[in-house]
Amino acid sequence: MLPAVPSQYRQIFLRQRPDGIPQPEHFGIRTVPMPELSEGQFLVRNHYLSVDPAMRGWVSAVGNYSTPVPLGAVMPSYASGEIVLSHHPDYEVGSRVMGMLGWQEFAVCNGSEIKRRIQDKDEPLSLSLGILGLNGFTAYFGLIDIGAPKDGDVVVVSTAAGAVGSAVGQIAKIKGCRVIGIAGGAEKVRWCKDIGFDDAVDYKRAGFSSQLAALCPNGVNVFFDNTCGAISDAVMPLLANGASVVVCGTASVSSWTPWPMGPRVERHLLVKRARMQGFLAMDYEHRYNEAVICLKNWLYKGRLKHREDILDGLEGAPGSIRDLYRGDNAGKRLIRLVA
Amino acid sequence: MLPAVPSQYRQIFLRQRPDGIPQPEHFGIRTVPMPELSEGQFLVRNHYLSVDPAMRGWVSAVGNYSTPVPLGAVMPSYASGEIVLSHHPDYEVGSRVMGMLGWQEFAVCNGSEIKRRIQDKDEPLSLSLGILGLNGFTAYFGLIDIGAPKDGDVVVVSTAAGAVGSAVGQIAKIKGCRVIGIAGGAEKVRWCKDIGFDDAVDYKRAGFSSQLAALCPNGVNVFFDNTCGAISDAVMPLLANGASVVVCGTASVSSWTPWPMGPRVERHLLVKRARMQGFLAMDYEHRYNEAVICLKNWLYKGRLKHREDILDGLEGAPGSIRDLYRGDNAGKRLIRLVA
């Protein structure tokens, strides 16, 4: 039986523009009336909302790959849910979708928001926001297309216990690489080793750099970086000839005003004939199916482990980006709206 | 008539290891006896010695792509000359070669030093050290393989009036790009425009950054950089989506101890899905012939102009690396030993 469509629902909106990492006070929560659907529209009841590091960039005023979220607008986010009402010929009531549905209980859609239809009835909806969603796609395309490791390569991954990093390391293992993770704290280091990393180092401990260097005596062939800070600076001098550096995120930078300084990378790139390259998973939308097939196969065979860190209730969303940047989460952070 | 082989000859050796840019006092000049040639050896009389920015790296103690030149050793360099004596079946007296022959009047060789044989009797020997040598190869492979510009791309080149930069800009024009040069001083800016750059800006003048930005309203698709300093920092924020940054040299860094800091590049690379990549022309030795054929064709058709800045006499060599870094040269700096 489908849930009834209520006459109103709640949503999280952007109340103030943050300078750095969005805090709970930058968001507000409001109740809005349920609109009438027009022809070509359908209504999704969100089950899970995603919390992603990239959302910080979406609300930032600094030039970015998207126009900043306007003040007062619903906070955009990936979410997954079920279609509960439809005036659209291609979207049936009862089918399940993932897309840019926003931090809200219901989303009125026209189809342009939808990134993936979840055909497999047995696939838990939460997966489409993590390992079978943007995190998995980021790991898959970033490592395989940009990092392009070869069998036997040494792959170093920062934020290695995170939703993306842990997938990167496991995919690199599947591809025949030796994988070293960099993570913060003993629990995260242990998790990296539990899921098959060859080794992992705790960047919060003294001697981190020399420990890392000792683990990579022949240099680093692929560095998958999510940090852009002291951790990256420790890895760059270890690059091997022909290395690739995948620029996936800049988690360690709390503000881009003033622009942060760091050791110049040019000499490393020159001497090691190395490549440093940024990418965005959203550019690979036309290849998401390829990634889903591979990732699901590895997942179901037990070769790809993942963790979810689920908060119940819309009220958990506003503080959740800050939590990510503090490293408070243990696995992919999701907000669950429908139990 | 071949020149007589003297009983002794002069060479420049490394006397002290420089911290930064090699100065005249880091080198010495000495006279050594002409050795007897063994079987498999041949003697080259050097006509031209090359002076290249990379030589600074060769004498540096900081980790590099080659072992540092030992104190007391002949200063390695590219040079071109004529074989005047041979006990080697593959190298005939009278034939002309270019290779790592060193800053000296004569070089005893076994063949491993030779990078190119100059078959064309009409080709001036100096060209094999410039536009038909390492400078030309650096421009050719760096732009075409690493920069990989497409027709209509905006290409920005630093040290644009130099031996490499001027070739990069002209090759980019041949490939259908819009080319903006960055050079120091009115004379160099004029030379860039004279050889067909669409525009050129003087980085020594106030307002340089905004002038450059105004010339690239749709961003920079390929940035060929030889500087690694304030000039690079002005270009990075202008990158277009999918841009490539060719890291060819680090001319603006006078010392790597302490390691220089600069604005972090990761965010530009991420937001613009851009690639920053180092390369060394010496890795392309197996493709030098391809480059010679193309470059010579363009050169003889008048599509590729170049300048030589020739000093006569071995005594000019020790101060010539410093001159390059001061920008004192107007074109490819060579030391001529045989008039």
How far apart are the CA of B148 and the nearest CA of chain A, in angstroms?
A: 14
Give a yes or no: residue A292 inside a domain: no
- Model confidence pLDDT, tens digit, residues A147-180: 999 999 999 999 999 999 999 999 999 999 999 9
Do B124 and B48 fall into the same domain?
yes
Scanning every residue of chain A, which has its alpha carbon at the shortest distance from the alpha carbon of B238? Answer: A63
Please tell me if residue B269 touches chain A, with a CB cutoff of 8 Å: yes
Output the pLDDT for position B65.
58
Say if CB B260 and CB B253 are below 8 A apart.
yes
Asked if B266 and A250 come within 8 Å (Cβ–Cβ), the reply is: yes
Inside any domain, residue A2:
no
Give B279's contacts in chain A (Cβ within 8 Å): 270, 273
- Put simply, whether B29 touches A (Cβ < 8 Å) is no
- Flag whether B34 is in a domain: yes
Give the Cα separation of A26 and A318 in Å (integer): 8
Is A274 an 8 Å CB contact of chain B?
yes
Which among B282, B298, B316 is the end of a domain? B282
Decide if A239 is inside a domain.
yes
Cα B7 to Cα A284: distance, rounded to the nearest angstrom: 69
Helices A134-141 & A163-174, crossing angle to 10 degrees? 40
Q: What tens digit of pLDDT does each residue of B221-271 get?
A: 999 999 999 999 999 999 999 999 999 999 898 888 899 999 999 999 999
* Residue B329 one-letter amino acid: N
Best of A245, A267, A275 to disrupt the B interface (most B CBs within 10 Å) is A267
Instruction: Give the whole-angstrom CA distance, residue A17 versus residue A85.
Output: 34
CB atoms within 10 A of CB B64: 17
Helix (H, G, I), strand (E, B) or coil at B2: coil
Convert the pLDDT of each residue in B260-302 to its tens digit.
999 999 999 999 999 999 999 999 999 999 999 999 999 999 9
The residue of B247, B252, B280, B284 whose CB has the most chain A CBs within 10 angstroms, and thus the best one to mutate to test that interface, is B247
What mean pLDDT do residues B71-82 have?
A: 97
Mean pLDDT on B86-101? 97
| Cα distance between residue B190 and residue B200, in whole Å | 8
Q: How would residue B63 be classed by pLDDT, with cut points 50, 70 and 90?
A: low
Q: Residue A58 is inside which H or E element, if any?
A: helix A55-58
Within-domain flag for A288: no
In one-letter notation, the amino acid at residue B152 is: G
CB contacts < 8 Å between A and B, how many? 107
Which domain does B32 fall in, by range?
A: 8-130+307-336
**Same-domain pairing of A113 and A143:** no
Q: Do both B275 and B315 map to the same domain?
A: no
Phi/psi for B259 (5° steps) reads -60, 125
Chain B residues touching A275 at Cβ < 8 A? 275-278
Are residue B152 and residue B265 in the same domain, yes or no? yes
Same domain as A116, residue A49 = yes
Model pLDDT for residues B157-177, shown as the tens digit of each residue: 999 999 999 999 999 999 999
Mark whether A123 and A138 lie in a shared domain: no
B1 within domain boundaries: no
Q: What integer pLDDT is reported at residue B14 of this predicted model?
A: 98
Q: Are residues B272 and B161 in the same domain?
A: yes
> Do A299 and A140 meet the contact criterion of CB atoms below 8 Å apart?
no
Q: How many domains does chain B have?
A: 2
Per the prediction, chain A carries an average pLDDT of 95
CB atoms inside a 10 Å sphere around CB A256: 19
pLDDT of A188-230, one tens digit each? 999 999 999 999 999 999 999 999 999 999 999 999 999 999 9
A53 and A177, same domain (yes or no): no
Q: Is residue B3 part of a domain?
A: no
CA of A258, closest CA in chain B: separation in Å? 10
**B73: Cβ contacts below 8 Å, ≥ 6 apart:** B13, B14
Asked if residue A276 and residue A170 are part of one domain, the reply reads yes
B227: tokens are 């500087």
Query: What is the pLDDT, as a whole number, of residue B117?
Result: 94
What residues in A contact B277, CB-CB < 8 Å? 269, 273-277
Whether residues A140 and A256 fall in one domain: yes
- Which pLDDT score, from 0 to 100, does residue A63 have? 55
Chain A contacts of B267, Cβ < 8 Å? Answer: 228, 250, 253, 256
Same-domain pairing of A83 and A173: no
Q: Contact B276/A275, CB-based, under 8 Å?
A: yes
Domain boundary among A282, A297, A323: A282
**Residue B151 and residue B79 share a domain:** no
| Mean pLDDT (10-residue bins), chain A, 339 residues | 80 94 97 97 98 90 75 97 97 97 98 94 94 95 98 97 96 98 96 97 97 98 97 98 97 89 97 97 94 96 95 97 88 93
Q: What is the mean pLDDT of residues B292-321?
A: 96
- Closest Cα of chain A to B55: distance in Å? 13
- List the CATH number of the domain containing B121: 3.90.180.10
**By the CB < 8 Å criterion, does A248 face chain B?**
yes
Q: Give the pLDDT confidence score for residue A20 in this predicted structure.
A: 86
Q: How far is A146 from chain B (nearest CA, A)?
A: 10
Question: For B184-231, what is each residue's pLDDT tens digit?
Answer: 999 999 999 999 999 999 999 999 999 999 999 999 999 999 999 999
**Domain with B249 in it: what CATH number?**
3.40.50.720
Minimal-distance CA residue of chain A relative to B284: A273
3-state secondary structure A112-143: CCEEEECCCCCCCHHHHHCCCCHHHHHHHHHH
As a whole number of angstroms, the distance between CA B240 and CA B220 comes to 5
- A295, part of any domain: no
Q: How far is B126 from chain A (nearest CA, A)?
A: 27
